[in-house]
Copies of this chain bind each other. A is one copy, B any other.
């Protein structure tokens, strides 16, 4: 199916308001897909991330940043290497994440006394203040997640996955 390419790109698509109601989900067979844990894991994980990002949009915080902030809060003074290993974030990526958080004055990198190569990571006073707001929003997200999957299932999943990790 070849279609012509046009050069002019000017006409805006303005949404009208006499649209038909959206069609229901067509309910296809999943086939072998429903024997794969990874498939369901990923579906739920996508929902979780999207809700998290939406909930924390006002703070402009993404899941990776949030996890780094929490880990610095719980383990002040540690190095980038240790934080990255714990979260599974690669060195290069963490360096850039911290660069951004330092620019926002949420995180301070101090020289480590014991190792001149590494940085000792701390939250600034600003960072702690912002993190309090962020955690409050994150709790709201978690509540919505519990509501989405059902409180009982939420508890069960949490127990299963936490024990495993």
List residues of chain A with CB under 8 Å of any chain B CB: 1, 25-26, 28-46, 48-49, 52, 63, 67, 70-71, 73-75, 78, 82-83, 85-86, 88, 109, 111, 119, 135, 138, 142, 145, 149-150, 153-154, 156-158, 160-165
Determine if A157 and B37 form an interchain contact, defined as CB atoms under 8 angstroms apart. Answer: yes
Write the nearest CB–CB distance from A163 to chain B, whole angstroms: 8
Determine if B28 and A75 form an interchain contact, defined as CB atoms under 8 angstroms apart. Answer: yes
Q: From DSSP, what is the main secondary structure of chain A's interface residues?
A: helix
Determine if B52 and A145 form an interchain contact, defined as CB atoms under 8 angstroms apart. Answer: no
Closest to A156 in B: B160
Determine if A38 and B63 form an interchain contact, defined as CB atoms under 8 angstroms apart. Answer: yes
Closest to A119 in B: B1
Bound-state Cα–Cα, A82 to B36, Å: 21
